[in-house]
Amino acid sequence: MEIDILTLFPEIALAPLNESIIKRAQEAGIATIRAHNLRDWATDKHRRTDDYLCGGGQGMLLLPGPLFDAIEELKRPDTLVVLMTPQGKAFKQAIARELSTHSHLLLICGHYEGVDHRVIEQHVDLELSIGDYVLTNGAIAAAVVTDAIVRLLPGALGDARSPEDESFSDPNLLEAPAYTKPADFRGLKVPEVLLSGHHAKIAEWKKQMALERTRTNRPDLLDSP
């Protein structure tokens, strides 16, 4: 799979993707991730990429010119164009799974107040938000989305681990608490049942704990369809 990230801050987008699992996935040829500086498509002598809002309002907006030129250069027949924006659809594991089936994603990162709406009308297939808060720029969001997608690609996590039995594989339940060795750490004990070897009992315990944790931390998940 190939992912192109279009941003004013390529280093911000790439830095978290050049470590650990996502770095290895790139080295193994599972994913190709590139970042492009939008300023390279600016045409005036100041290499301007933003301007004031029509009709007034706070802040600046990314100009349509450089964005149209960049998208038209980077887009291919198989490309899904995604805009990172707090106005987007909420990014969830199910969307990560769907996006991981595409051969080419072009992630466009907003900055300041976002992008001229004609870019969205003309070129954007999907607007995505990683949460109900505002980041300084979409490159951070693009790195988050890229990480969540690439780790799902076959081979990215290696043979020993499966992305299937973790939180959000069941989108309405968080994972149960987990423990490792030692069984007694400073008097803090691993729950007896986990040391019992009784698989049915362990499964039941995990289900109960997952429910309890979800009720405490994310009651909204239990109400959602």
Distance of alpha carbon 149 from alpha carbon 216, whole angstroms: 28
Residue 107 is encoded by which pair of tokens? 């992630």
The structure tokens 């081979």 sit at: 155
User: Where does residue 197 rank: exposed (0-12), middle (13-18), buried (19+ CB within 10 A)?
Assistant: exposed
Between 74 and 141, whose beta carbon lies closer to ligand ADE? 141
Residue 124 sits in the site that holds ligand ADE (CB under 6 A): no
Q: Is 110 in the site for ligand ADE (CB under 6 A)?
A: yes
- Strands 32-37 and 2-7: what pairing? parallel
| Residue 95 labelled as part of a binding site | no
Of 48-56, 58-66, 115-123, 131-139, which part binds ligand ADE (CB under 6 A)? 131-139
- 35, 10 contact by CB (below 8 A): yes
Q: For residues 135 and 209, which CB has a smaller minimum distance to ligand ADE in the complex? A: 135
130 is in an annotated binding site: yes
Q: Decide: is 7 part of the binding site for ligand ADE (CB under 6 A).
A: no
In the complex, the residues that contact ligand ADE under the rule CB under 6 A are 84-86, 110, 129-131, 133-135, 138, 141
Annotated binding site for S-adenosyl-L-methionine: 110, 130-135
